[in-house]
């Protein structure tokens, strides 16, 4: 992840730093990393978010991006969030794996409620026994910086603005002191998570869970045909979908429910797709346990549109 990073203007830097909102309350700061749909912040900022659901808000435009807590490193108070939709036109930051030296000039940006939105300057004042670093702010603050947690730490002389750390705490007895986690502490783990996701990034636009039983009136082949016909109708109504879905339907995935629970890896992959697909369709003709399990997971994450298809002569509302 520490690749080339071009110099940035202040406007470009600030466009990749966001407010983190939990249950309609501004909770902290986060910033874009790796690609246009991952946000890094302090774990305590999102720790109590219901089902890990948060809002990432552009402080200038007010545009809100729903996100979910994807990975937590509790030891370092770090959380990786995944946006439901990418932030277009914004360049993500690059993480540095270099250590921080005492006396290093640093700066951070965030959204503390009491002091508005601006740069906060400081100096690394030493290592702590828990692996974090103390910093000394170069401002005499009259009150706490609530909302700054999760903000990115930049080296003062780094025009490329690689992320050197994340701010996680302000001293309650000395408001000029703070604590940061250097990125080298969690660099390997976050890099592994993001690369693993890149390797399996085959998230479908539409995920269709098929029944294992083929003797029913509505066979899997018939359901597939119905899905393709529906897709054609959607493209006719909205031509912009054609480029997104693809002429070869590569963004529509079909799978038998029983195949998705044959191993831990298959199951985890299926759950990941269910949590991200815009449309999920389930063949519930015989209420097979695997189908109903996956349908339950989909209903809990409340993602996109979910449809249940029942074959045979069943009518919704009829007593079975």
Q: What structural domains does the chain harbor?
A: 10-93+189-199 (2.40.10.10), 105-185 (2.40.10.10), 206-309 (no CATH)
Q: In what helix (H) or strand (E) does residue 199 lie, and over which residues does it extend?
A: helix 187-199
Asked whether the whole model's pTM tops 0.85, one would answer no
Give the number of other Cβ atoms within 10 Å of residue 314's Cβ: 13
Give the number of other Cβ atoms within 10 Å of residue 319's Cβ: 3
Give the number of other Cβ atoms within 10 Å of residue 273's Cβ: 21
pLDDT value of position 6: 61
CA angle, 199 as apex, 194 and 201 as ends, to 5°? 85
**Cα–Cα distances in Å, from 189 out to 18, 97, 195, 241, 265?**
23, 11, 10, 36, 19
Q: What is the mean pLDDT of each run of 10 residues along the chain (320 residues)?
A: 62 92 90 92 95 91 92 96 89 90 92 80 91 92 88 84 92 92 94 75 76 53 68 58 46 83 85 83 87 90 80 58
Q: Is 230 helix (H, G, I), strand (E, B) or coil?
A: helix
The residues near 289 (Cβ < 8 Å, ≥ 6 apart) are none
pLDDT value of position 177: 93
pLDDT value of position 3: 45
- Per-residue b or e along 39-59, where b marks 16 or more CB atoms closer than 10 Å to that residue's CB: bbbbbbbbeebeebbbbbbbb
- The 8-class DSSP code of residue 213 comes to -
- Say how far residue 200 (Cα) sits from the centre of its chain: 15
pLDDT value of position 220: 46
Token readout for 260 is: 């998705």
pLDDT value of position 5: 52
pLDDT value of position 247: 43
**DSSP letters along 55-107, please?**
EEE-TTT--EEEEEEEEEEGGGTEEEEEESS--TT-PPB-B------TT-EEE
pLDDT value of position 116: 66
Q: Which residues is 305 bridged to in the sheet?
A: 279
pLDDT value of position 271: 87
Nearest to 186 by CA among 163, 170, 206: 163
Handedness of CA 267, 272, 273, 278 (dihedral sign): positive
Give the number of other Cβ atoms within 10 Å of residue 241's Cβ: 15
pLDDT value of position 12: 86
Token readout for 206 is: 């539409």
d(CA 274, CA 306): 10
d(CA 223, CA 290): 18
pLDDT value of position 215: 45
Nearest to 304 by CA among 17, 66, 131: 66
**Contact, 18 vs 45, CB < 8 A?**
no
């Amino acid at each position: 992840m520490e690749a080339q990073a071009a110099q940035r203007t202040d406007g470009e830097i600030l466009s990749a730093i966001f407010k983190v909102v939990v249950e309609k309350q501004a909770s902290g700061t986060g910033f874009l990393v790796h690609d246009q749909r991952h946000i890094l912040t302090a774990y305590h900022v999102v720790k109590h978010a219901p089902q890990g659901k948060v809002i990432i808000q552009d402080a200038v435009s007010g545009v809100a991006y729903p996100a979910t807590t994807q990975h937590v490193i509790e030891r370092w108070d770090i959380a990786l969030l995944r946006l439901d939709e990418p932030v277009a036109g914004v360049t993500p930051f690059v993480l540095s794996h270099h250590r921080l030296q005492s006396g290093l000039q640093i700066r951070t940006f965030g959204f503390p409620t009491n002091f508005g939105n601006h740069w906060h300057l400081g100096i690394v004042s030493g290592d702590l026994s828990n692996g974090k670093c103390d910093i000394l702010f170069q401002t005499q603050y009259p009150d706490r910086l609530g909302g700054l947690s999760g903000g990115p730490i930049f080296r003062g002389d780094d025009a490329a603005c690689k992320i050197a750390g994340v701010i996680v705490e302000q001293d309650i007895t000395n408001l000029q002191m703070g604590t940061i986690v250097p990125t080298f502490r969690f660099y390997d783990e976050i890099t592994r998570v993001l690369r693993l996701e890149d390797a399996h990034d085959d998230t479908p636009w539409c995920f269709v869970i098929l029944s294992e039983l083929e003797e029913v009136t509505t066979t899997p082949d018939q359901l597939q045909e119905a899905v393709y016909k529906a897709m054609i109708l959607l493209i006719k109504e909205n031509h912009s979908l054609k480029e997104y879905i693809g002429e070869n339907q590569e963004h529509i995935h079909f799978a038998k429910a029983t195949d998705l629970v044959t191993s831990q890896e298959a199951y985890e992959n299926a759950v990941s797709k269910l949590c991200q697909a815009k449309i999920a369709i389930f063949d519930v003709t015989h209420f097979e346990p695997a189908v109903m399990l996956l349908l339950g997971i989909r209903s809990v994450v409340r993602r996109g549109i979910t449809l249940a298809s029942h074959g045979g002569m069943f009518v919704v509302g009829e007593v079975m």
